[in-house]
Amino acid sequence: MLSRLSAGAFKKAASAGPSRSSTLFFGARSASVRFASTKASAESFVASRTALVAASAVAVGSIAWYTQLYGSLPFLSEVHASHLSDEGLHPVAYPWSHKGVLDTFDHASIRRGYQVYREVCAACHSLDRIAWRNLVGVSHTADEARAMAEEVEYTDGPNDQGEMFQRPGKLADYLPGPYPNEEAARASNGGAMPPDLSLIIKARHGGADYLFSLLTGYIDPPAGVEIREGMNYNPYFPGGAISMPRVLFDGLVEYDDGTPATTSQMAKDVTTFLSWAAEPEHDERKKYGIKAVIIFSTLFVISVYVKRFKWGPIKNRKLFYNPPSSTTKTH
């Protein structure tokens, strides 16, 4: 059969052999190269995703840090219904004694602040959410709070004859307001309604910093600023014109502990008192927080120990099954 093939067929077959083998070799090589490139691309994809996540985290952290420091971003304009000057001057951040994570209120300052409120602020502002019993153990003893409550006459009843009557106050009563109703309050203040001070710290942007700056920030209006009659200029108040005049002056009250009653000291004390009034559970909440951190930290350590030394050996152990021998007993 080989004798019937021509010489040209032999030459064609000889030339086709090396080319086929080379095709197989380079085809395998190209396949391996394609596999290597796929692996490299997968690694680069993971690396790029990791870099993207890290860059995003850095960007978000930088924006949060800048916003915390300055309140707004430089490349985003804020939306306002009015001019920025209508919001008042931004107060300075003061180092309050209760500002820290583990800090509590200065109770001596709370007692002095209550005295400032009672002798100065209570003439116009109410404190509806604070009862006499709330002062016990915070700024006064039970006997002191009871004596102050008994100085006030409260309307109670009806009695057996169906009539209302007056009685001395007790610890369960709330601090009395200066006016019997809202209409009387507006009539006594030229149409303005003095706000209740129970939650004033929570209700105002800036909180304690704003209130302290407001009480100590009364100045003469600058040139070009006109304040109508009956109003007072305070740059920390929105709009600058406030109907409440300056009420704190040096030596206005006489502290029982001998602390000099300067304007800034009285403003600081009454601000501390109103901060407590807005959050009477402040100290207890932080105490419970510390206890919760200690308890949960202990439970976490115990869970790690149990996972590592108790559950770990059980989870990772190997079980071997030895089947019984197939030999049977002969009788």
The binding site for heme c comprises 121, 124-125, 244
The pair of three-digit structure tokens given for residue 99, joined into one six-digit string: 């500002």
What is the distance between the alpha carbons of residues 167 and 173, in angstroms, rounded to a whole number? Answer: 11
- State the DSSP code for 82: S
Binding residues: 121, 124-125, 244
Q: How many residues does this entry show for the chain? A: 331
H or E, element range at 35: helix 7-70
C-alpha torsion sign, points 169, 275, 96, 242: negative
Amino acid in the structure at residue 221: P
Taking the alpha carbons at both ends of the chain, their separation in whole angstroms is 75
C-alpha torsion sign, points 254, 258, 263, 265: negative
**Bridge partners, residue 136, by sequence:** 140
The pair of three-digit structure tokens given for residue 180, joined into one six-digit string: 């019997």
Longest dimension (CA), the chain: 143
Q: ω before 238 within 30° of 0 (cis)?
A: no
Alpha helices of 217-320 — where are they, by DSSP H? Answer: 263-278, 282-305, 312-316
